[in-house]
Amino acid sequence: MQEGGIQSAEALLLARYFMYSQVYFHPVRRIYDHHLKEFLEAWLSGGKFSTDLAEHLAVTDNEVTAAMLGAALDPTRRGHAHARRIVRRDHFKVLYSRNPQDVDVNPESGQAIFNAMSEQFGPELFHHDRYSQKGGSQDFPVQAKDGRIVSSMLLSEALQHLPLVSIDAVYVDPAKRDEVKAWLSSRRAEIIKPKEEAPA
């Protein structure tokens, strides 16, 4: 790449960041992924797609969608709970999402809240979603105007400070959301406070 194109590279990498943070990692999309995964694990034989080529190719979106609708309408079918949440749009809702102030107190604040909620109300009412983007290098060679080859990181402040996607969210059954939210609100600081290690 020539030096004159560095802004185009910055724009593409920033666009990728916004696409991931606002679309691929949107909380509603993430929780539907969770419900779908749980449904498929319950519905598929052995909890996985077949490795037999013919059997694998025989399972299309049509079969999955039909099975999901059937399970959503019949409580006796495998995967009913998650199928119903998808079909009826009754998905889990965000109870807690990553907060920089909480992370300063406890980098595992999301896990601490999930553990406390599960212990108090039961783990089946919650889902913990944690993901941190791996720090990929934005370093690539650029031909400067004087003909020398230099690192993109030396030419671009934007590439040096390109943010990474990091999510840490706890979801809750919408039927319990108000009750759980009120309970958490009065105990959040206590819950996220790191536990003191016992002396050796």
Q: Give the tens place of pLDDT for each residue, 134-179.
A: 766 788 899 888 888 989 888 888 888 888 888 999 999 999 999 9
Distances (CA, A) of 3 to 8, 11, 33, 161: 10, 14, 41, 19
Q: How confident is the model at residue 191 (pLDDT cuts 50, 70, 90)?
A: very high
Higher pLDDT residue, 47 or 4? 47
Closest CA to 114 of 165, 171, 166: 171
DSSP 62-105: HHHHHHHHHHHH-TTSTTHHHHHHHHTT---EEEEE--HHHHHH
**Which CATH code is given to the segment(s) 3-192?**
3.30.70.1370
Question: How many other CB atoms are found less than 10 A from the CB of residue 117?
Answer: 23
Q: Which ranges constitute the DSSP H helices of the chain?
A: 6-19, 27-43, 53-58, 61-73, 80-87, 100-105, 109-121, 152-155, 157-160, 177-185, 188-192
pLDDT tens, position by position, 10-45: 999 899 889 988 999 999 999 999 999 999 999 999
Report the residue count for the chain. 200
